[in-house]
Structure 1
């Protein structure tokens, strides 16, 4: 089974395992005349599911978010969150209460799309763009090599690789291999009384195709809409993808591949897909009389996507992404798992998001108990921006807490002990503690977010402390 970095498909592509298969150049081979067995079909379906999952998920998410219905926006425009997420929100899972987000889908097939960001004047502003395979193709401050905690005024042009023409003089050219780009911008908010200032910054972001950007600025202004309306878990993109049968999943993959070639270019993966009858832009032709093998491979693919590969960092019950996230190369297992668990995640230099659902004894976190997260003086989250800890239900929703929806972190004045250490007390019942974090009354999880993290947060040299039941 393929769990680890850069291993996806590798066991199919060794000379020993490919005896009798002629498609891999350089291996001694014999004519491939016999049909594939059910076992081979199962394995190839599972491998191809892991390979194609991010593209199918992004395609489903794009379709759900673009249009003129409430909560949607046309392509090449942004929709802005106008308020913090409501209590009990089912999607997105574990929503942030530290920022207000602006997001949109860019279509660069006809011409470049220009994004102009304002100066945030010291306020944390994180913006990033992902291709349809969830690779981060650009993010704020990436060129400097040192991730800033705020953004300066800048203009970015997202351009397909084969496009030639003139761009605005101050625009940075970012080449895109896929037709669509997912753009997001997150702006720090300090609570409901700070919303007006955040909205002003949101309105200052401009997104428009090149021909419009160079013309009437009134036409080029950003369309402001609410974020996606609340939907049931069954209606969210991950659930929709999980509900697809083999024909539905691979049919969607075949159509999406036509405009969104894989990165890196991977002829071996495309050859395996072709063996299954999946060709970019062509009608699906799955193997006949192999329904059981297809179903078994699909089930195995589901399990692999939901299973953390070995290069996901883990310590003291927490897990988080480190090296490789956002720029996956051929690490298809990590790419699929990141898309499944943290859609839109950036690189380790953009953010670190650690989650825990068990205490130091391995028991599920529950609001009936009291817990302490003790940061030693040299263990406080290392950031250039800010950090926070938020409690969610085990399903990732904001639970009913008093005070509602609060997080604890340096943004809201977390107090240190005399020796420089810091304690966060977590419980459903109010306690007299400097850094009390209200939790749901049932089982819950904690998510620690590091905005503009320092390098040690993503290379494993820093680790979050254990959650100890009192």
Structure 2
């Protein structure tokens, strides 16, 4: 089924224009044949006009544009039309709000359910190994890195995060605001030096404390930090990484001493998880509750330049629904309908990104969405917390080279010709996800193959073939085998710190070829 991109229309847009006006009348000997151009704006930003009867001054900023009239009698149909746009636009923001609220309940930095790093606000927790397949916090995790996770409430106070000396090891911290847009860059590719760094909110006016290497400002008080530290799939590297990740920490500025702190994350305590069961991602957005939460979320996330009209139109509808139970019910109806009719179609990889060749799709503006509401929401639905494209390029596919849905009734091969592995400075991997975008449990406990694997076998011609199927392709090929479920599934290529051929779209992922039907 082809997923058509829906255009998001902000109701009531602001426009500023400066146009030459031609005199339509004149007095006495005035020359009516020559156009008379009005003066440009003065230093106040207002258009300086001559004493010209009848001229209406055009808006020159968003603040000059008249907004919706309070108390207007809004119909159910109008409320639902705006409500649908509001649901699509605000879904990732509400999602982030609820994730932060869940983390804020953590009694201490630890592991939720024994598998997911979780910490109170302005702190983080780290894993010392790959993430377990049982986690349901976020879809499309990888098993190439030791993850960390932390959310902030910078309205309380700034947060300090630590960067240890990782040496030659690849690492990157993803640091995003409530829109999931990156606002800080920290990692090996940025030559970030070991040290102590400060995250501050939009209203912070303090001075950089002594001992802090840099200050990064978020446009929202709610933000998130996700350290990723690459690790080979060997016992030796598991041991080597521990003293490094033990120095990956975040804590409130009030606890800052100027010294690098450490904690043994391999001994992190378990935080009970009453919602541990389930096959799908935790429902971070509940349609029935969405419009009850949206007003507070809009207060948390101020409009981007150009979004003022969208905010005004949505607030008008929310205010009307607050006074009219029938309109409130109409908004709930549209939330439930939009989740089912539109959001569900965004989940699979075919509902996101652009064509990358051979049936794969790739994201172009992850973590830099701006006003691309479609892409932000589609990513939040199917693969939230994607890194910026300059940090990581993602390629996902649901289809084989014949256009058929990838499924366990067939056996597939993915062959990278000699010299055509993903060109990266960091690492690459090919991951298999089940229908819910989580790992498929298997006897090898193998969910991806790539740079981390030291026993991959190349062909005589120097190519690398990965076999994707439910049963073993044979003992001589088993090191290159990705075990698959019997049902439908998807494949995903990661390229961390991509080189120019990937960034410029000159490198194409290989076909997913059917070798047995």
TM-score (normalizing by structure 2): 0.76
How many residue pairs get matched? 446
Larger radius of gyration: 2
Instruction: Give the whole-Å Cα distance in 2 for the aligned partners of 1:30 and 1:394.
Output: 44
1:18 maps to what in 2? Answer: none
Q: Give the SS at the match of 1:103.
A: strand
Query: In structure 1, which of residues 168, 172, 196 is the aligned counterpart of residue 210 of structure 2?
Result: 168
- Describe the shift of the 1:244–1:286 C-alpha distance in structure 2 as closer, same or farther (beyond 3 A): farther
Shift in alpha-carbon separation, 1:33–1:73, aligned structure 2, 3 A: closer
- Return the offset for 1:348: 0.3
Q: Deviations over 1:246-278 (max 9, x none)?
A: xx2122121233333244572112101211125
| CA-to-aligned-CA distance 1:267-326 (integer Å, 9 cap, x gap) | 1121012111259xxxx716442366424532453244444577534532222211x221
- In the alignment, the residues of structure 1 paired with residue 92 and residue 119 of structure 2 have an alpha-carbon distance, to the nearest angstrom, of 22
The equivalent of 1:462 in structure 2 is 507
Which ranges of structure 2 fall in alignment gaps of 5 or more residues?
16-58, 113-117
> How big is the shift at 1:369?
2.4
Pair 1:336-2:377 in alignment = yes
Is 1:200 matched with 2:243? yes
1:394 to 415, 435, 451: 435
What is the distance in 2 between the residues matched to 1:444 and 1:367? 8
Contact between 2:232 and 2:451, CA under 8 Å: does it hold in 1? Answer: no
CA distance in 1, matches of 2:65, 2:103: 46
The residue matched to 1:140 in structure 2 has which SS?
strand
2:394 corresponding residue in structure 1: 353
Residues 1:8 and 2:8 aligned together: yes
In structure 2, relative to structure 1, the CA distance for the partners of 1:34 and 1:80 (3 Å cut) is closer
- Counterpart in the other structure of 1:19: none
Cα distance in 2 between the residues matched to 1:466 and 1:128: 30
Would you say the 8 A contact 2:353–2:361 is kept in 1?
A: no
Secondary structure (helix, strand or coil) at the match of 2:318 reads: coil
1:48 is displaced (CA, Å) by 0.7
Q: Deviations over 1:362-403 (max 9, x none)?
A: 323233422111224464212111111122322223223242
The answer to whether the 8 A contact 1:386-1:452 is kept is yes
Residue matched to 1:443: 488
Q: Which residue among 322, 332, 342 is the counterpart of 1:285?
A: 322
Name the residue aligned to 2:47.
Answer: none
Q: How far 1:46 sits from its partner (Å)?
A: 0.8
Matches within 5 A, 1:86-235: 86-87=132-133, 89-141=135-187, 147=189, 152-162=193-203, 163-191=205-233, 193=235, 194-214=237-257, 217=259, 224=265, 225=268, 231-233=276-278
- Which region of structure 1 is more displaced relative to structure 2, 259-268 or 347-356? 259-268
Correspondence list, 1:18-37, <5 A? 35-37=73-75
Shift of 1:221: 5.1
Partner of 1:386, secondary structure, is strand
CA distance 1:68–1:38, shift in 2 (3 Å): closer
2-structure distance, mates of 1:234, 1:390: 18
| Deviation of the 1:205 alpha carbon | 1.9
Distance 1:331 1:392, change over 3 A: closer
Indicate whether 1:423 and 2:465 are aligned.
Answer: yes
Counterparts of 1:60 and 1:88, CA distance in 2: 21
Which of 44, 59, 67 aligns to 2:82? It is 44
Aligned equivalent of 1:367, options 408, 412, 425: 408
Question: In the TM superposition, what whole-angstrom CA distance separates every residue of 1:152-211 from its partner, at most 9, and x where no partner exists?
Answer: 414321122332223235521211121122011011122361333322211112322223
Q: Please say if residues 372 and 469 of structure 1, whose CA atoms lie closer than 8 Å, have aligned partners that are also in contact.
A: yes
The 1:159/1:68 distance shift into structure 2, 3 A limit, reads closer
* 1:62 pairs with one of 100, 114, 125: 100
The 8 Å contact of residues 126 and 151 in structure 1, kept in 2 or not, is answered as no
Residue 319 of structure 1: aligned partner = 361
Query: Contact 1:44–1:297 (CA<8 Å) still a contact in 2?
Result: no
Asked if the contact 1:353–1:447 (Cα under 8 Å) also holds between the matched residues in 2, the reply is yes
Residues of 2 paired with 1:348 and 1:214: CA distance?
A: 35
Matched, 1:297 2:339: no
Q: Does the CA contact (< 8 Å) of 1:41 and 1:297 recur in 2? A: no
Distance 1:182 1:240, change over 3 A: closer
Shift of 1:58: 0.5
TM-score normalised by length of structure 1: 0.82
Q: 1:157 to 1:89 in 2, by over 3 A?
A: closer
Q: Aligned partners of 2:132 and 2:370: how far apart in 1?
A: 37
Measure the CA separation in 2 of the matches of 1:270 and 1:223: 45
Higher normalized contact order (CA 8 Å, seq sep 6+, divided by chain length):
1
